[in-house]
Structure 1
Amino acid sequence: MFDQIQKNIFTQDSILDLKTIPQDSSAISVEVDPMLKVNDNINSFDDYISDYFVIWKNIPSDFNPALPSRLEIGDYEYNFASHLDDWYDLLVDNANMSSLSDDPQKFMVTTSTDLRYLPTNSPSYHNPLDAGQGYHFDNIQQNLLRIGEPLLVFHYSKDQKYAFVLINAKAYGFVAVNHIAKVTKERALGLMNSDYAMIANDDSSIYYKDDYVTSLDMGAILPIDNGDLKLPVRNIDGGLDLITVNADYENIIKTPLEFNLANVKLIVDKLIDKPYGWAGHLGNRDCAQLTKDYFAVFGKLIPIFSAEQSKVGEIIDLSSYGKMQKLAKIKSLPIYKTILYTKGHVVIYMGEYNKLPIIFHARWGVPLYDSTFNEYRYIIGKSVLTSLEFGSDLAGFDLKHSSFLESISSASIVI
């Protein structure tokens, strides 16, 4: 039996931060120190592309794939019913891990697709009535892969519907076979040495011979050949073709943006107030994807997972700092390029608004507690600018356990 206590609070009324801190770039106003560059090479995406295609050059030495246990992925379906007893065993059998190849093949994503821990599109949750569980925290969902992303294919599921792949972030899992295309050695070499343009706005329309083909979101990149923008597509034989396309000029950039206040404000305005999407659910962003896309337009490729993002650049351990000491240290860090981390969440430090330190992040909710310390959530569910103690005005906010400031364990200054 479920404990029928409401664990998530949905309300039309905003937390105080969202009423007092402008939810647009007017909240940030300090010019970037010209000595604090994100990427010295702003003339091209060459550095970015070199890192982007590293998976086609070297397989990580520590690559040792393993499937998640049933305990890790949970026991509940989308309708709150328990999975059938043999559900997990059937998925593991279909995963076909005994067929893992020692000679993986180069592939590229041709349709935006989900990276899954197991070969299924069906979700799996922990108890949906526990705080922070259930929709949309699908434990099989790992990441959203965008058109053009390189990957390696090691084998296929028994039903041939899924390929087992490795991507740049050292992440591995299953993707739908019809969403990827095989890349020849010659074409792979050409792609690794091409010029590239990056999509700089969400829902950017891509056209082929003036007909709409698809839309791409900020951070996606497309190769340029002889001045023509190319879109990777899967041909009838499952191989990769590149078709000449065009996009609205204002939605693409051919060199990284200069790291300055005007461009930071531009990107914040494009990314703020977007729906939260756990691990790319429904094509939306969680905290790590927001952070990754923010830095991408400045020419810096960072990992997709929050724990790995916390290890980028110059790392400052804050775990032993007291609250006030931690606050003082954060206020001394470079604005717009410092990632603050606590287990499971990252934010970008954006300086101060009315002398209050503020952060930019995609957030699902605020952990709250009742009188007997049962946990529940106030739902934010989007990308926002907040203080370091967002939600402190809510009943149930615990000064130690609800406070993001209290939980911050490290800062990483992206170089």
Structure 2
Amino acid sequence: MNGARYLRLVAILAACFILCACGARREGIADLEKLQQRAAAYLPDESGRPLVTPEVQKDLQARYMEKFFGPWRNGKATLAPEVAFWGTATFGRKKGFGENLQPWSLPRWEALVAMQLESSYPSMARHAIATRNTSFRVMPTDKPFFYDPAKAGEGYPFDYMQNSAVWIGTPLLVTHASADGAWYFAEAGMTYGWVPADAVGWTDEAFRTAYMTGIYAAALHDRIVLRTDAGAFAGMAHLGTVFPVSVSAMMLESAQAAEGVVAEQGGGVQALPVLVPLRTVEGDAIAVSVRLPLTAMGLMPQPLSAQALARFADVMMGQPYGWGGLLENRDCSAAMRDLFAPFGIWLPRNSSQQGKEVGTPVSLEGKSAAVKRAMILEAGIPYYTLLWFKGHIGLYIGPDPVTGEPLLLHDVWGARTTWKGVDGRAVVGRLAVTTLRFGEERDDVQKDWFYDRLRGMVLMPSGEASGSVQ
């Protein structure tokens, strides 16, 4: 082969490589590889400094418990029928797909609608409590209702019958029952919907009085096994779970310790006795005392600092995404709720409410990506500012030390992609740390796509401005 032909062949091969590279779609998301996936890795100086005064945190805790026990203070249903049964009208107009990815048949749908007995709502008003972790469903079924699974962002895990998840020990007001008695319609402090009957325990006035001890504790990590003194399994607690402290048990243990009956390690209490609700065969709630180490259960409110927030965030880091609490996993708003619960800060259920009804909202509507970035970096308080997007929310944890881009801790399904006219997702599917430009290095992700969805930021309650404690 002469020199000219050799050079021509090299040029052709190089062009082929270039064309192949241009036609290839990148995989993965660079932020997940480049950024440390630990919230504690980005802590600012003086991260142990309190973010609010003890007086403000006391007020926040009081507000939390008012919301938490709200259903027990209501004597009747607070929801109009069109609100309680919104799923009937909404999904009745949609073509839904079931667990076999085949369309819901009309007879199946009509049977589900009839199961709700809408004309007789509300049929009761009984105070109750969740006796295990459970789902709140839009309609009385554990079967899924997917939109077209062939479309991006639909299908699993986006079961539109899944409204929310509540943890064991959540106070409830039950206002209705399904025709078969297998489901109850209930109101909780942060959500409402249909819950399985076997997840509910009825409470009388004596139970409620004894349960509202005035001293409360929060779970400090996930998958805390609850066992009675006899060793029987009583449930599983996750970060965000709240139990009352058994004051009588604490007083007894203190008295025994003073008499030398109980040996205290290190001179302090090493465990908290908390009240955990269980369901009897008859459906009533009983409270059993469960002793948990202080590494698992801590008094509310926990001291609020960036360092403490990062520690609890890392408890959840990397855990799978769960639409509406599906499979006891968290979505974006649930992650924020559970993150702030140990500090006695109440957040509403969904991202839109969290973006508008907490602390001091700052609108970013209509601003360019550059202006939004500048405002976040200037006014955002790392680990104490929420960033609210259309249908999404997360926690601002400061600037990336390398690029200066705002960093977001968020439970996210993925980045929106478009490739050859077809929409898709670059799936993250977990709680992660990313910039607000995550996925933009990909050929199929539009520049500024995430900034374009950014609607505002929320400066969390500080007590410095009138009305900021909400």
Question: Deviation string for 1:118-174 (max 9, x for gaps)?
Answer: 1111001000010000011001000111101111111110000000111212x3211
Q: 1:352 matched to which residue of 2?
A: 399
Residue type of the alignment partner of 2:427:
I
- TM-score (norm. length: structure 1): 0.91
Contact 1:314 1:412 in 2 (8 A): yes
Q: 1:276 matched to which residue of 2?
A: 321
Secondary structure of 1:406 counterpart: helix
Measure, in 2, the Cα distance between the counterparts of 1:145 and 1:29: 30
Q: CA deviation at 1:27?
A: 2.9
Q: CA deviation at 1:212?
A: 3.8
The structure in which a higher percent of residues are helix is 2
Secondary structure of 1:404 counterpart: helix
Secondary structure of 2:207 counterpart: helix
Distance 1:117 1:44, change over 3 A: closer
Among 43, 66, 79, the residue aligned to 2:85: 66
Contact 1:73 1:140 in 2 (8 A): no
Question: Deviation string for 1:72-130 (max 9, x for gaps)?
Answer: 66411122111122121111100112222375111100011110011111001000010
Contact 2:77 2:175 in 1 (8 A): no
Among 425, 428, 447, the residue aligned to 1:380: 428
Residue type of the alignment partner of 2:363:
D
**1:309-328 pair list within 5 angstroms:** 309-311=354-356, 312-328=358-374
Measure, in 2, the Cα distance between the counterparts of 1:413 and 1:74: 40
Measure, in 1, the Cα distance between the counterparts of 2:336 and 2:290: 28
Among 109, 130, 140, the residue aligned to 2:130: 109
Contact 1:347 1:360 in 2 (8 A): yes
Distance 1:207 1:13, change over 3 A: farther
Secondary structure of 1:86 counterpart: helix
Q: CA deviation at 1:337?
A: 1.4
Among 23, 37, 53, the residue aligned to 2:37: 23
The farther-off stretch of 386-395 and 58-67 is 58-67
Q: CA deviation at 1:298?
A: 1.6
Contact 1:351 1:357 in 2 (8 A): yes
**1:31-46 pair list within 5 angstroms:** 31-32=46-47, 34=49, 36-37=51-52, 40-41=56-57, 45-46=61-62
Measure, in 2, the Cα distance between the counterparts of 1:128 and 1:362: 21
Q: 1:6 matched to which residue of 2?
A: none
Residue type of the alignment partner of 2:211:
L
- Does the alignment pair 1:287 with 2:332? yes
Cα RMSD (Å) of the superposition? 2.3
Residue type of the alignment partner of 2:455:
S
Q: 1:392 matched to which residue of 2?
A: 440
Identity %: 25
Contact 1:100 1:155 in 2 (8 A): yes
Measure, in 2, the Cα distance between the counterparts of 1:44 and 1:307: 21
Q: How many residues are paired up?
A: 401
Q: 1:88 matched to which residue of 2?
A: 109
Q: CA deviation at 1:185?
A: 2.1
Among 224, 236, 240, the residue aligned to 2:281: 236
Q: 2:201 matched to which residue of 1?
A: 181
Measure, in 1, the Cα distance between the counterparts of 2:457 and 2:187: 28
Q: 1:223 matched to which residue of 2?
A: 244
Distance 1:72 1:382, change over 3 A: farther
Q: CA deviation at 1:38?
A: 8.3
Measure, in 2, the Cα distance between the counterparts of 1:288 and 1:239: 31
Measure, in 2, the Cα distance between the counterparts of 1:25 and 1:120: 37
- Does the alignment pair 1:201 with 2:221? yes
Residue type of the alignment partner of 1:52:
F
Q: 1:409 matched to which residue of 2?
A: 455
Q: 1:122 matched to which residue of 2?
A: 143
Segments of 5+ residues of structure 2 without an aligned counterpart are 1-24, 251-272, 462-470
